[in-house]
Amino acid sequence: MYGNPVGFGTGSVLKTWLDSAKNYIEVTKPRSVFLLVFTALVTMFIAAAEYGMSTTVLIKSLLAITLACSGVNAVSCYVDRDIDAIMERTRHRPIPSGRIAPPVKALVWGLAQFFAALGIAATLNIASFLCIFLGMLGYVGIYSLLFKRKTAWNIILGGFSGGLPALFGWTAVTGGVEVLPLLIFLLVVLWIPNHIWNLAIFYKDDYRNVGVPMLPVVCDTRKTLLYILMTVLAMFALSIGIYFTGVMGGLYLATAIICGVAVTAGNVYLLFAPDRNKAWFLYKLSSPYLFLLFLAMMIDLKV
């Protein structure tokens, strides 16, 4: 007579399901997925301006690269679950906090997405399939499993995976590779040290405590900042060089110059006045830089 109303029980189940769904989305690092998928979308539109693109290819490509990035991130969270439980920055993630338990559920979730992405990419072309496959090999295999805990050059050795979504976008449309997508791929690869090493400067003690030899942990801070500045200068120069391929217009060039000067000036200042909070700011600035640069590429095509 006094049992729970049907609506109450249904509401509790729904809340539990939504909380669980939120955890499984969180373990894929959705902000990272968004930025990587956006780089793929931009190169797809650049390629489509010259070669054309069907709606089917657009949908398949976006689905494949989203599942691939999401799956790879989930698998990497499973691989790093032991150190994530110790580090202040990561201990609240779904696996170390116990919100996804046992952890193997995250591994299955990530692998299911990755293999689905491979299957979809296979229906596009072999080049797209290889981009997806190499993304998992680079980020999880080379970076997370082989080198992350062994060498300070881990992100250099495995960082090529970060540029593969941009390369995938081009191959999904054309089935091949040309100079322009390779330059854009390299641009993202050069962006990664500024992004990761400035983060590692801020969380240097975190990485030291778990025995991960990120460059700021094993190298003098000024030398680390010099290495960062070198990659930033190369990235800045390459962003200007992309303009001279003749595909983008003046808006892209202005964006590349303004954003490049801002990021370069920030890193020069940090080199002469090292400070972990400034490094954190430059880490936070790096993602908007890449987003704005790729946005300018997309909207300022010479078609």
Condensed to tens digits (0 to 9), the pLDDT of residues 177-192 reads 999 999 999 999 999 9
Residue 198 has pLDDT above 60, yes or no: yes
> Contact, 274 vs 219, CB < 8 A?
no
User: Which pLDDT tens digit goes with each residue over 126-183?
Assistant: 999 999 999 999 999 999 999 999 999 999 989 899 999 999 999 999 999 999 999 9
- Above pLDDT 70, what percent of the chain? 96
User: Which pLDDT tens digit goes with each residue over 3-55?
Assistant: 455 445 677 888 889 989 999 999 999 999 999 999 999 999 999 999 999 99
Is the pTM for the entire model greater than 0.85? yes
- Kindly indicate the confidence band of residue 235, based on its pLDDT and cuts at 50, 70 and 90: very high
Ramachandran angles phi, psi of 212, nearest 5°: -95, 115
Q: Rounded distance, CA 41 to CA 184, Å?
A: 13
CA atoms within 13 A on the CB side of 127: 15
- Burial letters 215-233, b for 16+ CB under 10 A, else e: bbbebebeebbebbbebbb
Average confidence (pLDDT) over 113-124: 98
Q: What is the pLDDT of residue 28?
A: 97
Average confidence (pLDDT) over 79-105: 96
Q: What is the pLDDT of residue 12?
A: 82
Q: What is the pLDDT of residue 2?
A: 43
Strand-pair partners of 301: 248
What's the angle, vertex CA 216, arms to CA 215 and CA 218, rounded to 5? 65
Q: What is the pLDDT of residue 1?
A: 41
Q: What is the pLDDT of residue 16?
A: 87
Q: Is the pLDDT higher at 115 or at 15?
A: 115
What is the number of residues in the chain?
303
User: Which pLDDT tens digit goes with each residue over 288-297?
Assistant: 999 999 999 9
Ramachandran angles phi, psi of 231, nearest 5°: -70, -35
- Kindly indicate the confidence band of residue 243, based on its pLDDT and cuts at 50, 70 and 90: very high
Pick from 12-26, 94-108, 210-224, 227-241: least confident: 12-26
Q: What is the pLDDT of residue 9?
A: 61
Average confidence (pLDDT) over 113-118: 98
